[in-house]
């Protein structure tokens, strides 16, 4: 950046002359206060000229320092956005303007990507959109635009864009300089023919400078703007060219990896590569026990649930939680005894039917008695035959009602007195509250549960459906198809118990009580697996139905890497491989 030093030749001529003339007077013994006024005037003028010269030298040195810092910072990064923000902020400091902006062309538009003093840009703001339209118009024209309030000499498309922006931003001076990128076509072939070399200047962006208080554009300001725009074009051009490289992140990674094989890092790199190779070999070739994990509950084998046989209401409850009950039995004399009475139901419909049947029976009985008395009187043959017919029909009706009452007594009415179907213990919780007096119940509603706690126990597992493939494959590999299971109880995780899969349900169902985090990610779609225990006596003495446990089913051996990452492998196979291949 070039600054002229005013009166430099006069300074070179005046100062030696004044010094020599002052030296002559000093040789003659004349004190300084008695020097001629003309000599003193020349001395003061020379000093003022020297001070002006020094001030210009200092300003030139300051601008040179700023320019050096600007060049160093603007060419430091090959990323487009950091370079644009550096140009806007450091360029404003060098130019000493109110605001500097950078816009880059994107197809037919030219959005503003950096504004001095702002970390982010609101692209939908009116000022930003109008400034982008102005930059696009100037780039299309290919010539810089200098606006100081007069648009008479500007092209119509630029005039309209600059007036719209100036009315909104109220700037008094605006400079828009296109950023040009030089492309030499056939430069290698035409090195000896400079006249035939074709140079194409393409504008890929614009550098914008604004002043809000002063509308003048002195030559020094214009030179600074041109200098900053020239360096900005070089820096952003290199950044854009760098960004256009295909697979740039890959090449950067390879370039960084090359340093790992330098002489100082080669031993460390070789050690890491050997360690990684050993680890990969272990993951691929080392066999490891492969097990499928899930949750489940410990349940008695003999369990009966009691349901309501009809719509009714609870009349009386005879048992409570943890009460022992007995089932039906046949004594030696052949008498059959029903089990323990659990509860008594009351059905208004059955009571109404009972009253109706007894009423019909009473009505028919009275009718038969009346017909009997009439037959004992004096009747002709015709009337006697008619009464005999009515008597026969009454007897048939009476027999029908009697049979209905008998069926009601034997079948319907005993359903109101519900008894235990087996020997065991009532395991339902809080039944006194749930089945309180006059509590209405509907047909087939669950009432309570009875379990044989002293008999055999089994494990019921809820295996997520997505893991069943490995289990079925392992079951096919075994000659007897008996999968081994290892489990621990939530109350005593230190003790391990063992069993064998006895039954696998044929369908998957949605169960909300599995408690499995992995199953929750698969909408709790699980398959019920029943496990027969190896040693019933090893179980804790006080077992509760529904005791939570965690189990793992042995699925053979697989490579250690597959055991550790089989869920990731399944996810890739399902969501990537199957979708795209």
What share of the chain has pLDDT > 90, as a percent?
Answer: 36
Q: What is the pLDDT of residue 499?
A: 94
When pLDDT is averaged across residues 457-484 and rounded to a whole number, the result is 91
77-86, 328-337, 413-422: segment of lowest average pLDDT: 328-337
The reply to whether 442 and 318 lie within a common domain is yes
The reply to whether 466 and 377 lie within a common domain is no
State how far the Cα of 103 lies from the Cα of 113, in Å rounded to an integer: 6
The reply to whether 110 and 238 lie within a common domain is yes
Question: Considering the domain boundaries, does residue 290 fall inside one?
Answer: no
Instruction: Render 72-125 in DSSP notation, one character per residue.
Output: HHHTS--SHHHHHHHHHHHHHHHHT-SEEEEEE-BTTB--EEEETT-SS--TTS
Q: How confident is the model at residue 496 (pLDDT cuts 50, 70, 90)?
A: very high
Q: What is the pLDDT of residue 368?
A: 87
Q: What is the pLDDT of residue 78?
A: 87
Q: Which of 425, 448, 471 is the last residue of a domain?
A: 448
The reply to whether 430 and 475 lie within a common domain is no
Q: Which of 416, 448, 480 is the last residue of a domain?
A: 448
Answer with the residue of higher pLDDT: 201 or 369. 369
Q: What is the pLDDT of residue 514?
A: 44
Domains identified in the chain, total number = 4
Per-residue pLDDT reduced to its tens digit, 238-252: 999 888 888 888 888
The reply to whether 410 and 549 lie within a common domain is no
Q: What is the pLDDT of residue 335?
A: 66
Q: Which of 431, 448, 465 is the last residue of a domain?
A: 448
Question: Helices in 286-380 by DSSP H: which ranges?
Answer: 348-375
Answer with the residue of higher pLDDT: 190 or 405. 405
In the predicted structure, residue 343 carries a pLDDT above the cut 70:
yes
When pLDDT is averaged across residues 442-451 and rounded to a whole number, the result is 90
In the predicted structure, residue 198 carries a pLDDT above the cut 80:
no
Question: Helices in 408-478 by DSSP H: which ranges?
Answer: 431-434, 468-477
Question: Considering the domain boundaries, does residue 394 fall inside one?
Answer: yes
Q: How confident is the model at residue 519 (pLDDT cuts 50, 70, 90)?
A: very low
Q: What is the pLDDT of residue 434?
A: 86
State how far the Cα of 337 lies from the Cα of 323, in Å rounded to an integer: 19
The reply to whether 14 and 90 lie within a common domain is no
State how far the Cα of 300 lies from the Cα of 109, in Å rounded to an integer: 76
Residue 42 pairs in a beta bridge with none
In the predicted structure, residue 66 carries a pLDDT above the cut 60:
yes
When pLDDT is averaged across residues 480-503 and rounded to a whole number, the result is 92
The reply to whether 123 and 224 lie within a common domain is yes
Question: Helices in 516-573 by DSSP H: which ranges?
Answer: 517-520, 560-572
In the predicted structure, residue 196 carries a pLDDT above the cut 50:
no
Q: How far apart are the first and last CA of the chain?
A: 62
173-187, 251-265, 508-522: segment of lowest average pLDDT: 508-522
Question: Considering the domain boundaries, does residue 291 fall inside one?
Answer: no
The reply to whether 391 and 435 lie within a common domain is yes
| Total count of residues recorded for the chain | 581
Mean pLDDT computed over every residue of the chain: 83
Strand, helix or coil for residue 167: helix
Question: Considering the domain boundaries, does residue 93 fall inside one?
Answer: yes
The reply to whether 529 and 487 lie within a common domain is yes
In the predicted structure, residue 297 carries a pLDDT above the cut 60:
yes
Residue 155 belongs to what H/E stretch?
Answer: none
Q: Are strands 492-504 and 112-115 parallel, antiparallel or unpaired?
A: unpaired
Question: Considering the domain boundaries, does residue 34 fall inside one?
Answer: yes
Question: Considering the domain boundaries, does residue 13 fall inside one?
Answer: yes
Whole-number Cα distances in Å, 221 to 129, 218, 224, 232, 262: 26, 5, 5, 16, 50
Contact status, residue 209 vs residue 175, Cβ threshold 8 Å:
yes
In the predicted structure, residue 161 carries a pLDDT above the cut 60:
yes
Residue 461 pairs in a beta bridge with 296, 529
Q: Could you tell me the CATH number of the domain that includes residue 176? A: 3.30.450.40
When pLDDT is averaged across residues 315-326 and rounded to a whole number, the result is 90
In the predicted structure, residue 299 carries a pLDDT above the cut 70:
yes
State how far the Cα of 514 lies from the Cα of 546, in Å rounded to an integer: 11
The reply to whether 343 and 392 lie within a common domain is yes
Answer with the residue of higher pLDDT: 23 or 449. 449
Q: Could you tell me the CATH number of the domain that includes residue 461? A: 2.40.30.170
Strands, E assignment, 196-319: 198-211, 287-300, 303-307, 312-317
303 is written with which tokens?
Answer: 């369990």
Q: Could you tell me the residue range of the domain that residue 202 belongs to?
A: 78-244
Question: Considering the domain boundaries, does residue 161 fall inside one?
Answer: yes
Q: What is the pLDDT of residue 189?
A: 47
Per-residue pLDDT reduced to its tens digit, 532-579: 999 888 888 878 888 999 999 999 999 999 999 999 998 898 888 888
When pLDDT is averaged across residues 101-129 and rounded to a whole number, the result is 92
Q: What is the pLDDT of residue 173?
A: 92
When pLDDT is averaged across residues 444-448 and rounded to a whole number, the result is 90
Q: What is the pLDDT of residue 142?
A: 87
In the predicted structure, residue 510 carries a pLDDT above the cut 60:
yes
Per-residue pLDDT reduced to its tens digit, 218-270: 888 898 899 899 999 999 999 998 888 888 888 888 888 777 788 788 888 89
Question: Considering the domain boundaries, does residue 155 fall inside one?
Answer: yes
The reply to whether 38 and 94 lie within a common domain is no
The reply to whether 135 and 217 lie within a common domain is yes
């Amino acid at each position: 950046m070039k600054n002229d030093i005013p009166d430099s030749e006069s300074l070179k001529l005046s100062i030696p002359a004044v010094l020599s003339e002052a030296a002559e007077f000093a040789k003659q013994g004349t004190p300084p206060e008695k020097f001629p006024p003309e000599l003193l005037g020349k001395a003061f003028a020379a000093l003022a000229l020297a001070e002006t010269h020094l001030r210009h030298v200092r300003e030139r040195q300051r601008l040179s320092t700023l320019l050096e810092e600007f060049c160093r910072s603007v060419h430091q990064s090959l990323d487009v956005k950091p370079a644009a923000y550096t140009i806007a902020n450091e360029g404003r400091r060098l130019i000493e303007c109110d605001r500097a902006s950078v816009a880059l062309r994107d197809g037919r538009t030219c959005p503003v990507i950096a504004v001095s003093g702002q970390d982010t840009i609101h692209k939908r703001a009116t000022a930003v959109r109008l400034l982008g339209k102005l930059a696009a118009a100037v780039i299309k024209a290919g010539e810089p635009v200098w606006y100081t309030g007069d648009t008479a000499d500007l092209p119509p498309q630029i005039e309209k864009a600059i007036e719209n922006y100036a009315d909104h931003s109220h700037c008094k001076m605006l400079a828009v300089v296109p950023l040009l990128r030089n492309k030499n076509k056939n430069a290698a072939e035409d090195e000896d023919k400079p006249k035939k070399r074709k140079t194409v200047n393409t504008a890929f962006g614009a550098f914008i400078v604004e002043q809000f208080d002063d509308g003048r554009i002195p030559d020094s300001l214009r030179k600074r703007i041109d200098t900053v725009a020239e360096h900005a074009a070089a820096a952003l051009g290199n950044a854009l060219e760098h960004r256009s490289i295909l697979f740039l992140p890959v090449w950067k990674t390879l370039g960084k990896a090359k340093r790992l094989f330098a002489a100082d890092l080669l031993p460390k790199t070789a050690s890491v590569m050997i360690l990684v190779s050993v680890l990969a070999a272990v993951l691929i070739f080392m066999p490891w026990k492969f097990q499928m994990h899930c949750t489940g509950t410990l349940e008695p084998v003999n369990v009966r649930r009691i349901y309501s046989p009809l719509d009714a209401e609870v009349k009386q409850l005879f048992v409570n939680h943890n009460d022992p009950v007995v089932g039906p039995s046949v004594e030696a004399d052949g008498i059959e005894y029903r089990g323990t009475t659990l509860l008594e139901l009351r059905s208004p419909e059955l009571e109404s039917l009972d009253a109706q049947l007894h009423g019909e029976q009473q009505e028919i009985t009275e009718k038969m008695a009346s017909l009997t008395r009439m037959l004992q009187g004096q009747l002709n043959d015709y009337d006697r035959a008619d009464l005999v017919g009515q008597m026969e029909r009454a007897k048939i009706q009476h027999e029908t009602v009697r049979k209905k009452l008998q069926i009601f007594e034997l079948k319907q009415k005993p359903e109101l007195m519900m008894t235990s179907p087996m020997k065991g213990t009532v395991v339902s919780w809080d039944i006194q509250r749930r089945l309180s007096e006059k509590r209405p119940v509907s047909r087939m509603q669950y009432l309570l549960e009875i379990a044989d706690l002293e008999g055999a126990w089994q494990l019921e597992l809820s295996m997520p459906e997505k893991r069943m493939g490995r289990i079925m494959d392992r079951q096919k590999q075994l000659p007897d198809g008996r999968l081994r299971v290892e489990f621990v109880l939530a109350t005593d995780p230190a003790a391990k118990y063992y069993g064998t899969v006895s039954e696998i349900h044929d369908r998957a169902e949605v169960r909300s009580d599995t408690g499995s985090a992995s199953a929750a990610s698969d909408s709790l779609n699980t398959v019920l697996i029943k496990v027969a225990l190896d040693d019933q006596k090893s179980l804790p003495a006080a077992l509760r139905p529904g005791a939570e446990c965690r189990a793992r089913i042995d699925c053979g051996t697989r490579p250690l890497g597959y055991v550790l990452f089989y869920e990731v492998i399944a996810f890739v196979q399902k969501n990537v491989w199957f979708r795209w291949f």
